[in-house]
Amino acid sequence: MRDRVKLFLHILSGLLICMPLPGMAQTMTRPEHVEPGFWWVGMKSDQLQLMLHGRQIAEYVPHIDYPGVRIKAVHKLANPNYLFIDLQISPYTKAGKFDIRLNQGTQNLSVPYELKAREKGAADRAGFGPADVILNLMPDRFANGNTANDQLPGFGDKLDRSDASAGRHGGDLQGIRDHLDYIASMGYTMIWPTPVIENKQKTYSYHGYAATDYYQVDARFGSNEEYRQLVAAARKQGIGVIQDIVLNHIGDGHWWLKDLPSPDWLSFNSQFVPTYHARTTVADPYASAIDKKNFTQGWFDAHMPDMNQQNPLVANYQIQNTIWWIEYARLSGIRADTYGYSDAAFLTKWSGRIMQEYPHLTMVGEEWSDNPNLVAYWLAGKTNANGYVSHMPSMMDYPLHDTLRKALVAPENLHSGFATLYEALINDQLYPAPARMVLFEGNHDVSRLYSALDEDLDLFKMAVTYVATMPRTPQFYYGTEILMTSTKHRDDGAFRKDFPGGWAGDTVNAFTGQGLNAKQQEAQAYIKKLLNWRKNASTIHSGRLMHFAPQEGMYVYFRYDQKHKFMVVMNKNMSETELTTARFSEILPANAKAKDVLSGQQFEQMHQIKVPARGVLLMEIM
């Protein structure tokens, strides 16, 4: 009995020693977060800023003893649970591991850190461009390759395939990897998945645009390592990966929201003020200061807090995060969501730093506007009236996308239909490099192409041919090739249905063709042949364009260089139409012959050609 009492008193005394006294801070054993978790030697910039987060960490003094690495500055914020450490890394520093020692009086902590060696050629990695074709897909809605990660502890929203609008459906990185052969066979050379990083929101997290951890892939999609493996597997199939990132906002489930670094970490002192989406204020010479501030600092949504990029620590965090993912995952490009909503000065710095590290990489921004002046404002090389300078190589071509869809369903006359498509190309003079603009037939935010064109397969073929043959970088949306449908009005669930065949038990399988109807099979075969032909059509990648004013319901244009010429004819008439070609003589030789590259049809003479009703011809001129 006496021994049991002694044991009890011994345990109790140990517990009392470990328990903090009232008013006394608890001892930190190690930081909860160290970001970025590792870095690389040999980067263009010799600067690295670490964010350490842990209980009362600001009370500690950091020390590093590693050849070539020195602490330049330490930043403490209003919240003592954060410490920012500025490092300078000599260009001669060798890759290796070391400890960041944290001292507070007699307390000493060691935080392991690593500087990795860069892969050979990492700085010179090539981006995407007009020789590529991009496939945009939503990982949650494409294919479920690993059912074990469908529902995981700690994540709020549950699997519910019956809820197309907000439910998670279980698609993941493994599902994409399982079907890389299909993607490659269709002729795509790049994939752009919507964001894959963690979105631990209570609901509506499947889309990925409300980040809750900038450095972790969402576990329901897979792991960071699985993401790297996907990129590597895609590269073996001749496919690059473009990462979708969101600079403007995060999700309110982000761990920062539980312990903000400072009141000004988020815009409007971390208080919800909605943006009114007045996007033209960034360049409008007459815009009021209050409207300009509201557009870039207003919150995108009550559950999507706006990042205050005027705070230099926030700005540097986001710049480093983008570089980290490019280097870690070996990316071929970046797609930046809600681009213009971010602070303009920050965007100059961000785009400049990325291009400094990766001069051949491609980044494309989203400026959802049909105003080409506004879209062009963000492009590298654009001379803006207000002097704004950008380093962004590319933007999504929303103006031409919108015009294409409207033109194809509009009646043909001098001011409608093909005429508007013809006139829209004058806007190319606003773009420093039009071919780098990404022209898309659809994406996760707009109605399905087939539905937008009133489920007309002939118009559909015209649209995809136009996207594939314009001097642009073309992008297609998953399911377009099998005529997936949706509402015409905004309905995200309708735009983002599951790709058939991506789930066990699907009665239709688009990967194999099982269950597709005749029109779906025809559309899939058409796009497959078109895109695979395009892979080796260097004239389409880099040649010039000449087009002719539409007449009698037909639109004709040529892509050409010193070696090859291609002629595209689109006919919206309801009957076969005879096209007299005399007015094309400046580019079409009198003795020309031609061959349709998709159907194989031969044209022994080109003085007059018969164009099928509601048809499109894509001819190589002999």
Q: Distance between CA 449 and CA 309 in Å, rounded?
A: 36
Q: Distance between CA 607 and CA 519 in Å, rounded?
A: 33
- Cβ–Cβ contacts within 10 Å for residue 556, how many? 24
Tokens read off for 249: 């906002």
Task: State yes or no: cis peptide before 193, omega within 30 of 0.
Answer: no
Q: Distance between CA 306 and CA 577 in Å, rounded?
A: 55
Tokens read off for 291: 């409207």
Q: Distance between CA 281 and CA 113 in Å, rounded?
A: 44
Give the residue among 594, 583, 512 at the shortest CA–CA distance from 554: 583
Tokens read off for 331: 């990316």
Q: Distance between CA 111 and CA 32 in Å, rounded?
A: 11
- Cβ–Cβ contacts within 10 Å for residue 300, how many? 20
Give the residue among 400, 521, 414, 412 at the shortest CA–CA distance from 463: 400
Q: Distance between CA 185 and CA 181 in Å, rounded?
A: 6
Reported as type and span, the H/E element at residue 227 is helix 224-236
DSSP β-ladder status, 197-198 and 213-217: antiparallel
Residue 119 is among the residues annotated as catalytic for this protein: no
Residue 604 is among the residues annotated as catalytic for this protein: no
Tokens read off for 441: 């037939």
Q: Distance between CA 193 and CA 228 in Å, rounded?
A: 14
Assign 392 to helix, strand or coil.
Answer: strand
Point out the catalytic residue in the list 132, 218, 337, 367: 337
CA–centroid distance for 219 within its chain: 19
CA angle 175, 178, 181 (to 5 degrees): 130
Please, where are the H alpha helices in 298-417?
312-329, 344-357, 372-376, 398-409
Reported as type and span, the H/E element at residue 458 is helix 457-469
With b meaning 16 or more CB within 10 Å and e meaning fewer, what string describes 54-91?
Answer: beebbbbebebebeebeeeeeeebeeebbbbbebebee
Point out the catalytic residue in the list 140, 157, 366, 441: 366
Ramachandran angles phi, psi of 244, nearest 5°: -90, 120
Q: Distance between CA 577 and CA 614 in Å, rounded?
A: 9
Active-site positions read 337, 366
